Amino acid sequence: MRKWHDDPFTKKARKEKYEARSVYKLEEIDQRERVFEGVNRVLDLGAAPGSWTQYCLKKLSQPQAQIFAVDIAPLGFSHPKVIFIQKPIEDIDLSALVGTEKIDLVLSDMAPKTTGVHDTDVARSFDLASVALEAAKRFLKPGGTFIVKLFMGESFEEYRNLLRQSFKDIRVLRPESTRKHSREIFFVAKGFKESP
């Protein structure tokens, strides 16, 4: 149903047949950081309703390309290149999903249901981002890229330091389509250093 207060990005997403306005965050990150070069296999955490997955499908033209997607909520579509599991990330055996071949790009747009209590929301976001980082460390190819959402708060520096241990280059972005009052930021971590 159309709502009078839909913002321009929501309207654009509807017109361009994307599942959500979130797509424009990934699009901007990609335009600025060129994160899809040479990418064939993507792990998309917090994928529902699926606009980031749709963007990946647009960018991954190779016939063998695959996207492994996870969310508690359902994906709005199915596609032969997308393998989707509807479960909390904490309950999934990701190696059974992804297999033995490594991943080029790990995305995490996971966000907790907000409570309005700043410390609680920031802590839950940190927990989800930490689970995503563990998945990235386990499944990324050396040199691979990790994009992760985090609610800005006291744990920002701690998380950045964790990323520094495993990635060569770390950027922090706040895409233009991020809602004004949202405290989310995105880390783009490139050049995964495989653990010794």
Ligand X SMILES: C[S@@+](CC[C@H](N)C(=O)[O-])C[C@H]1O[C@@H](n2cnc3c(N)ncnc32)[C@H](O)[C@@H]1O
Least distance from C-beta 66 to ligand X, angstroms?
17
Q: Which residue is nearest to ligand X (CB)?
A: 46
Among 22, 145, 155, 166, binds ligand X (CB under 6 A): 22
Please provide the DSSP assignment of 57-76 as one string.
HHH--STT-EEEEEESSPPS
**Whether residue 149 lies in the annotated active site:** yes
Binding-site member from 42, 98, 111, 133 for ligand X (CB under 6 A)? 111
Token couple for 60: 């991954």
- Figure out which of the listed residues 69, 70, 150, 188 binds ligand X, where binding follows CB under 6 A: 70
Binding mask 134-163 for ligand X (x = CB under 6 A): ------------------------------
Question: For ligand X, which stretch binds (CB under 6 A), given 65-73, 98-106, 154-162, 171-179?
Answer: 65-73
Tokens of 8: 């321009």
The one catalytic residue among 87, 149, 168, 180: 149
Concatenated DSSP letters for 84-152?
A: EEES-GGG--HHHHH-SS-EEEEEE---PPP-S-HHHHHHHHHHHHHHHHHHHHHHEEEEEEEEEEEE-
Contact yes or no for 70/47 (Cβ under 8 A) = yes
- Among 145, 113, 143, CA closest to 127: 113
Query: Which position among 13, 43, 46, 135 is part of the footprint of ligand X (CB under 6 A)?
Result: 46
What residues act catalytically? Answer: 149
Interacting residues with ligand X (CB under 6 A): 19-20, 22-23, 46-52, 70-73, 88-90, 109-112, 128
